[in-house]
């Protein structure tokens, strides 16, 4: 496990919304020092990660640090509403996959991976989150979907 350290800042991952052509991509901001109330957009306010798989839209990014402290995982919803898509279609027959990246420094990210996690009857997969279960030594991913059930899986497919 990494030693406890004083953090010098925070990183914030986000998307700006379907109202913009490139709003459904991943953006990053960095806090001004150790102040989580003041942020500076990175990459001159442009998306830092754009999707080239699935629906070619990214929403709901979530970052987790490995328990060893040497790697970060970024997961996101595979969804594009801007343009010809709409919310009804997204809920009924949207992507059942999530997008995954890995990094050792929060700057350089691996190639994008698309991992199907939900069954066909789910309708969609949105807002994935991940945590590390110390008792089992496994990552667990959970998400929302349009179905009545909310699937939970052990993230062996996602975290290699």
- pLDDT per residue over 114-150, tens digit each? 999 988 888 789 999 999 999 999 999 988 887 644 4
**List of the chain residues with pLDDT < 70:** 1-6, 85, 147-160
In a domain, 132, yes or no: yes
In a domain, 141, yes or no: yes
In a domain, 136, yes or no: yes
In a domain, 143, yes or no: yes
In a domain, 6, yes or no: no
Is residue 132 within 8 Å of residue 152, measured between CB atoms? no
Predicted TM-score of the model (pTM): 0.86
In a domain, 160, yes or no: no
CATH of the domain at 116: 2.115.10.20
Which residues have a Cβ under 8 Å from the Cβ of 149 and sit 6 or more positions away? 122
In a domain, 159, yes or no: no
- Whole-angstrom distance, CA of residue 57 vs CA of residue 35: 30
Please give the structure tokens belonging to residue 8: 């010098």
Q: Which structural domain, as residue segments, surrounds residue 128?
A: 11-154
């Amino acid at each position: 496990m990494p030693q406890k350290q004083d953090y010098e800042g925070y990183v914030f991952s986000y998307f700006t919304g379907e109202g913009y052509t490139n709003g459904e991509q991943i953006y990053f901001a960095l806090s001004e020092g150790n102040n989580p109330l003041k942020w500076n957009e990175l990459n001159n306010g442009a998306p830092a990660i754009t999707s080239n798989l699935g629906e070619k839209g990214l929403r709901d990014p979530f970052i987790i640090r490995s328990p060893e402290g040497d790697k970060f995982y970024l997961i996101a919803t595979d969804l594009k509403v801007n343009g010809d898509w709409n919310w009804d279609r997204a809920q009924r027959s949207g992507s059942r996959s999530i997008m995954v990246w890995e990094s050792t420094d929060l700057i350089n990210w691996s190639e994008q991976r698309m991992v199907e996690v939900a069954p066909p009857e789910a309708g969609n997969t949105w807002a994935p989150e991940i945590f590390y279960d110390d008792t089992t030594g496994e990552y667990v991913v959970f998400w929302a979907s349009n179905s009545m059930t909310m699937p939970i899986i052990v993230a062996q497919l996602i975290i290699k």
